[in-house]
Amino acid sequence: MIDHFVIFSRTGAVLWSRTLCKLNNNLVDNLINRVLMEDRAGEKKFIDNAYAMQWVFENKLDLVFVVVYQKILQLLYIEELLEIVKKDFIVTFPQQIANKTPVTYEAKFTKILKATELTFTEKHARKGPRGYNASKKAKAKGVKSNTAGKTALSSRSTTTADSSDDGNDSAPSDGNDSAPSDGKDKNLVELEYETTLRSSKGRTMRSGARRKGKDKAAKESKNGGKQRTIWDDTKVSKKEAKALDRSKTITADEEEAQLREKREAYIGKLEASDSDESSVSDEESSASSGADSDSGWSFSKTRVGNFLSTMSGNKILERDDLEPVINPMHQMLISKNVASEVADELCESVITTMVGQRLESFSRISTVVRKALEAALLRILTPKKSTDVLREVLQAKAEGRAYSIVFVGVNGVGKSTSLSKVCYYLKSKGVNVMIAACDTFRSGAVEQLNQHAKVLDVELFQKGYAKDPASVAKEAIKYGADHGYDCVLIDTAGRMQNNEPLMRALTKLVSNNEPDLVLFVGEALVGNDGIDQLSMFDRALADYSDRREPHRIDGIVITKFDTIDDKVGAAVSMVYKTGQPIMFVGTGQKYTHLKKLNARTVLRHLLQ
């Protein structure tokens, strides 16, 4: 019932593969690019369109065993099949594995596959419904019958596994996978992986000064606070009428003075470059890494034999060695606002890739694990594609078309503000920018963008309210191209990720207009809810699109990054879940407060 099985090394050499059913595309390449190279090996299963893939590692020999099958099938024996094939393959072909040469394994694999499927069928056949008489007998036998049944089942499984090793001419004479007959194979480790992720130990305590908030509210009410609104038909005073009067017109000089004041307040002088503020010297990074790596290790916690093997370089890392070290790091990631789901998968991936590796001489397990976690986090945060928006805009300009960017996200995260910051950034680089007001739902959205457009001295394209946002965006892009604009920034209405009608409207806007870039705007303050928002937005753009290859989220803008101190985990969570890079981070209220993310700075805050 499986479609494909492949065994390859981490260097790219395929030792053996077998295709039972023709595949539509190269699924194994997708697994390597989107899972194994993205430090997501702890997920245990990867879904790609109509197919599901599961895998197992042999870290000592740098081997990967992958099986592909239809995702609609619930094949519960896949993990058992992978383990049996892995153990048999390692014992059968030690020389070929060392030389990375292809082997012939079809006959033995077919025998193992049939035996595993037969064992699985027998196990599930025993769990079928029983008749009335059989149930009475089962009750009469009680616990003894259950014990006997388990013993028989264990015996049958052992017999099946042993029989699967027979009939192979190149296998060792004793047919025992767990005990190699040759003395040089003593260091082969048989790995047993857990089928479910280990739940995190302990939970972070929430703390908050509720009393302080109440005292502040009481103080405000005592000093007057906000005046209540009067809803009856009493007479309006002259002061109130003057406050409501919007008919007064201002002169051009007065308007220019107001704009000049706003520009001085929100733009001001250009600040120092991002690299001056966010770069971290190698000495500082290595010093902090060395200081932290010493914590959590004590000679009294180790056995003498373990210590000697560590010093001599003969220590083979096992799960029991890694879990006590990775658990404090797991809790530290959660305390830095990394989503618990992401922290679980990331730590499990580190353990999975390290089990079976040999510890170097005079190395501490805590140091090795910390370096592996740092490398995994750095790979996650390092963009896999270009994040230079300016270069792409100039390239589109050379092609004679207007570059379009759509900003999406939930309510209140700062989409319009982020749009205006990107507008200022591009305008300061000499790009001719236009803003399109496609938030035709929220009251005051067009007026808000109009204020930004006036301060930034750019044109605003708007059609008012109660219009179809997709049509407004289409007209704006056409208008921008016809009037020589280099870039069109499209604002959209905020919406909750589980609101299907609004998500369909957003998908229509993206599908009909085919923008060059779709940016998701999210807050740095959120944890689990942030990845839920991002994942559901990305999934909605794919599910509700009528195109064969839907346009999904291309990048992320994180706002309020200046309010979180060292709680920078939201950046890791968002990038890990989508694989898309962080284009910009907002670090303040001014137009100049927009920066590029420095991966090493985030890494330093996460692990300090």
Would you say residue 289 lies in a domain? no
In sequence order, the β-bridge partners of residue 67 are 5, 54
By three-state DSSP, how is residue 426 classified? helix
Beta carbons of 527 and 567 less than 8 angstroms apart = no
Higher pLDDT, 261 or 518: 518
What would the two tokens of residue 10 be? 């981490």
The predicted pLDDT at position 391 comes to: 92
The predicted pLDDT at position 141 comes to: 52
Tell me how far apart the alpha carbons of residues 103 and 85 are, in angstroms, rounded to a whole number.
Answer: 14
In sequence order, the β-bridge partners of residue 405 are 489, 517
What would the two tokens of residue 465 be? 């309210």
Residues 343, 487, single domain; the answer is no
The predicted pLDDT at position 488 comes to: 96
pLDDT in tens, 32-88: 887 887 777 777 788 888 889 999 888 888 899 999 998 888 888 898 999 999 999
The predicted pLDDT at position 527 comes to: 62
Mean pLDDT rounded to a whole number for the chain: 76
Residues 395, 353, single domain; the answer is no
What would the two tokens of residue 319 be? 């799960």
Residues 361, 493, single domain; the answer is no
Q: Residue 106 CB: number of other CB atoms within 10 A? A: 10
Cα 385–chain centre separation: 16
- Residue 285 gets the label, from left (phi > 0), alpha (psi -120 to 50) or beta, of alpha
Would you say residue 283 lies in a domain? no
pLDDT in tens, 460-478: 999 888 789 999 999 999 9
Beta carbons of 586 and 416 less than 8 angstroms apart = no
Beta carbons of 408 and 415 less than 8 angstroms apart = yes
pLDDT in tens, 501-510: 899 999 999 9
Residues 329, 403, single domain; the answer is no
Would you say residue 447 lies in a domain? yes
Residues 168, 84, single domain; the answer is yes
Give the number of C-alpha atoms closer than 13 A to the C-alpha of residue 322, restricted to the C-beta side: 26
Residues 337, 479, single domain; the answer is no
pLDDT in tens, 81-130: 999 999 999 989 988 888 888 999 999 999 999 998 888 888 766 555 55
Average pLDDT over residues 566-593: 88
Helix 282-293 to helix 365-381 angle, to the nearest 10 degrees? 140
The last residue of one of the domains, among 381, 399, 424, is 381
Residues 466, 337, single domain; the answer is no
The last residue of one of the domains, among 349, 381, 413, is 381
pLDDT in tens, 430-452: 999 999 999 888 888 899 999 99
Would you say residue 190 lies in a domain? no
pLDDT band per the 50, 70, 90 thresholds, residue 555 = very high
Tell me how far apart the alpha carbons of residues 417 and 394 are, in angstroms, rounded to a whole number.
Answer: 23
pTM: 0.62
CATH of the domain at 23: 3.30.450.60
In sequence order, the β-bridge partners of residue 45 are none
Would you say residue 303 lies in a domain? yes
The predicted pLDDT at position 155 comes to: 46
Range name among 27-36, 135-144, 353-362 with the lowest pLDDT average? 135-144
Residues 327, 418, single domain; the answer is no
Maximum alpha-carbon separation in the chain = 105
pLDDT band per the 50, 70, 90 thresholds, residue 150 = very low
pLDDT in tens, 274-283: 433 343 334 3
Q: Residue 601 CB: number of other CB atoms within 10 A? A: 17
What would the two tokens of residue 256 be? 């220019």
The predicted pLDDT at position 226 comes to: 57
The predicted pLDDT at position 315 comes to: 74
Nearest to 353 by CA among 368, 340, 334: 368
Instruction: Quote the domain boundaries for residue 517.
Output: 389-598+600-604
Beta carbons of 516 and 483 less than 8 angstroms apart = no
pLDDT band per the 50, 70, 90 thresholds, residue 589 = confident
CATH of the domain at 447: 3.40.50.300
Question: What is the tally of structural domains in the chain?
Answer: 3
Nearest to 373 by CA among 306, 327, 315, 316: 327
Tell me how far apart the alpha carbons of residues 265 and 317 are, in angstroms, rounded to a whole number.
Answer: 58
Residues 517, 558, single domain; the answer is yes
pLDDT in tens, 211-248: 444 454 454 445 555 566 666 666 777 777 777 776 66
In sequence order, the β-bridge partners of residue 462 are 437
Average pLDDT over residues 407-434: 93
What would the two tokens of residue 106 be? 């079809």
The predicted pLDDT at position 511 comes to: 93
Q: What share of the chain is helix, strand, coil (3-state, %, to 5)?
A: 50, 10, 40
Average pLDDT over residues 333-356: 87
Would you say residue 71 lies in a domain? yes
Average pLDDT over residues 384-406: 91
Kindly give the residue spans of alpha helices, DSSP state H, lying in 457-564: 469-482, 500-513, 528-543
Task: Evaluate if residue 487 carries a pLDDT over 90.
Answer: yes
The last residue of one of the domains, among 381, 400, 432, is 381
Tell me how far apart the alpha carbons of residues 608 and 601 are, in angstroms, rounded to a whole number.
Answer: 11
Would you say residue 282 lies in a domain? no
How long a stretch of residues is the chain? 608
Nearest to 425 by CA among 271, 575, 600: 271
Would you say residue 254 lies in a domain? no
Average pLDDT over residues 296-319: 54
Tell me how far apart the alpha carbons of residues 277 and 295 are, in angstroms, rounded to a whole number.
Answer: 29
Q: Which residue has the tokens 């790219």?
A: 12
Nearest to 48 by CA among 58, 59, 40: 40
pLDDT band per the 50, 70, 90 thresholds, residue 168 = very low
Nearest to 572 by CA among 376, 415, 410: 376
Residues 153, 302, single domain; the answer is no
Beta carbons of 478 and 513 less than 8 angstroms apart = no
Higher pLDDT, 159 or 391: 391
CATH of the domain at 318: 1.20.120
Residues 309, 428, single domain; the answer is no
Task: Evaluate if residue 157 carries a pLDDT over 50.
Answer: no
By three-state DSSP, how is residue 461 classified? strand
Mean pLDDT is highest, among 101-115, 167-181, 299-313, 523-537, for 101-115
Pairing type for strands 433-437 and 582-586 reads unpaired
Give the number of C-alpha atoms closer than 13 A to the C-alpha of residue 391, restricted to the C-beta side: 5
Pairing type for strands 594-595 and 403-408 reads unpaired
Residues 330, 424, single domain; the answer is no
Contacts with 493 (C-beta within 8 Å, 6 or more apart), sequence order:
438, 439, 440, 441, 442, 445, 469, 502
Pairing type for strands 51-58 and 46-48 reads antiparallel
